[in-house]
Structure formats: C-alpha cells, structure tokens
Structure 1
Amino acid sequence: MNPIIDHIQITVKDLQVAEKFYDQFLPILGFDIKNKVRAYIEAHDFHVIEYTHELLAFAITSPRKAFVNDSINRRKPGALHHLAFKAESRAEVDHAYQQLLQFEATIVTPPQRYPEYGEHYYAVFFKDPGNIKYEIVCTKESDS
C-alpha cells in the first residue's frame, strides 16, 4: 500500500462562511468547484459539501449542535494541527500566496524559507475564516 490520502473531511464552525472560502481556495489547488456536491447525512446529523478531484476529495461538514459554539483550537488532542499541500515549485507557492491575498484567507506568514524544517523548505501559512491552519509548501532545491 502507498500512503496516499483518498479524502479529507473537516468540520467547520459555519458551513456557509466556509463554503465561500473553500470555493476560492480549492481552485488554487486544482479543484473545479463545478465538481462540488452537497448532502445531509441524517444518521450522523451533519451537512456536508464535498469537492472532488481525481487525486483527492475534500469535504467540509457542519458541527453537531452540541458543539456549534465550541472554538477551534489546533492544539487540542485529536485536533488537526494544520494541513499542508505540496507545490511543485517556489513560484507555485508565490502564485498561491497572491491568490490567497484576494479573498478572506488570513495570512499567518507570507512565503519564505524555513531551514528548520528542511534545507529547501519554502512555504506560506494561512488560516480559513474559522481559524483552521493550512500551508502550501515546496521542498525542492529551486525552480528549474
């Protein structure tokens, strides 16, 4: 088996607010939002919006009513600390950054080298409107 992720499903605080963000963010990664589907999963009491791509499905879901007022904290046990997407070049990281500036992405740090993570580690870190942290990273030596 290869360590390839089939799908990711993230619970967001406000599905309507999150959908506006992910409709703009996911195309940066190559998703076509025309391939977006919605469903209500009655057995689990949540609404889901799934964005599909040939390599990965990415879904956002509503919280359970009992947790709707909870805050997101990536340092809680069991929480997603952050999710990193691989870029093919530093230019892709820079281009993604420019696109992120066009909508409600909260930039944590603009694109830069992180030698503490690896000799050629170059990334931008940002958050969605609900405070979920993401990264777009290139680990190649240079753009060639």
Structure 2
Amino acid sequence: MSYKFGVGISHLEFWVKDMEESLQFYSELFPLIGWHALNRTSFSCGVHEIYFREMPVQLHDTLGVRHICFHASSRSVVDKVGEWLLNKKAAIIRGPLAMPHYDKSYYTVDFKDPNGFILEVAHAPDLKL
C-alpha cells in the first residue's frame, strides 16, 4: 500500500470555544512559521494538517496532549513569533530563550492560544531525536 505522506499523523483537530477568535489568532501565527491555509478552518505545513471545530464549552475530566511544538526554520522565526505574541498581549509562558539543557541549539517560545492550548515554536537544528 502506498501512502501520500508516509506513515505518521495525518491531522490534528482542535476543539475551540470561539471559532472567530481562534481563526484570527492562527491565521496570523501560522504564516510566521511556514504554515498555510487550506480553507477557512484548516491549515497545513505541507505534511500535516490542523483544523478547528467550534464546540460548546463543557467541562471534561480527560487527559490529553500537554502542548504542541512547531518547528521553526530559524531563531529569527522564533523571535518574530515572540514579537507577534507581545503585540497581541498573548499569554507567553517563557521565551524566546535558549534551552541548552535540552540541546545546545534549542531556542524556543512557549505560549497559550485563546483557548488555553499550550503551544511552542522552537528552532533546534542540532537536536537528535
């Protein structure tokens, strides 16, 4: 069997409380890190897709992903995201900053989106998985 993108994650679905607020946030963030819009509610980097669905606000007792880290092509991309977050008055957790205890090349910014999802944009060209 042949797969278009190989084995791996096809897409991520984000449930959001306010579609318009989320789309405004991500339509500005994603072009900074090399992602593009596929349509009004989904975005891709050419390999993976993230799409958004507005869901009623409900409390759920579930565990899930702590955060999603997006690869940045350079430290300057991480800095641009950091500047953009400051201008938006977004909730920055840390950074932009170097994290040499992860890897000598690791440079990151961690933040929350309008729904409270924790995201990271990191440049780590020398990191070995």
TM bin, normalised by shorter chain, reads 0.7 to 0.9
The one-letter amino acid of 2:114's match is P
Q: Which runs of 5+ in 2 are unaligned?
A: none
Deviation of 1:53 after TM superposition, in Å, equals 4.3
Deviation of 1:12 after TM superposition, in Å, equals 1.4
Determine the structure 2 residue equivalent to 1:97.
Answer: 82
Q: Deviations over 1:16-43 (max 9, x none)?
A: 221221121112122334x323xxxxxx
1:24 maps to 2:28:
yes
Equivalent residue for 2:118, pick from 133, 136, 142: 133
| Aligned length, in residue pairs | 122
Determine the structure 2 residue equivalent to 1:116.
Answer: 101
* Paired-residue identity, %: 26
Deviation of 1:10 after TM superposition, in Å, equals 1.1
CA RMSD, aligned part only? 2.5
Determine the structure 2 residue equivalent to 1:50.
Answer: 42
Q: Which runs of 5+ in 1 are unaligned?
A: 38-48
Secondary structure in structure 2 of the residue aligned to 1:119: coil
1:10 maps to 2:14:
yes
TM-score scaled to structure 1, two decimals? 0.70
The one-letter amino acid of 1:102's match is N
Secondary structure in structure 2 of the residue aligned to 1:102: helix
TM-score scaled to structure 2, two decimals? 0.77
Q: Deviations over 1:87-128 (max 9, x none)?
A: 122222112212232325321112111233223221110110
Secondary structure in structure 1 of the residue aligned to 2:88: coil
Judged with a 3 Å threshold, the aligned counterparts in structure 2 of structure 1 residues 104 and 130 are, in CA distance, closer, same or farther, namely farther
Deviation of 1:134 after TM superposition, in Å, equals 0.5
Secondary structure in structure 2 of the residue aligned to 1:101: helix
Separation in 2, partners of 1:92, 1:50: 22
Deviation of 1:4 after TM superposition, in Å, equals 4.1
CA contact (8 A) 1:36 1:52 kept: no
The one-letter amino acid of 2:39's match is K
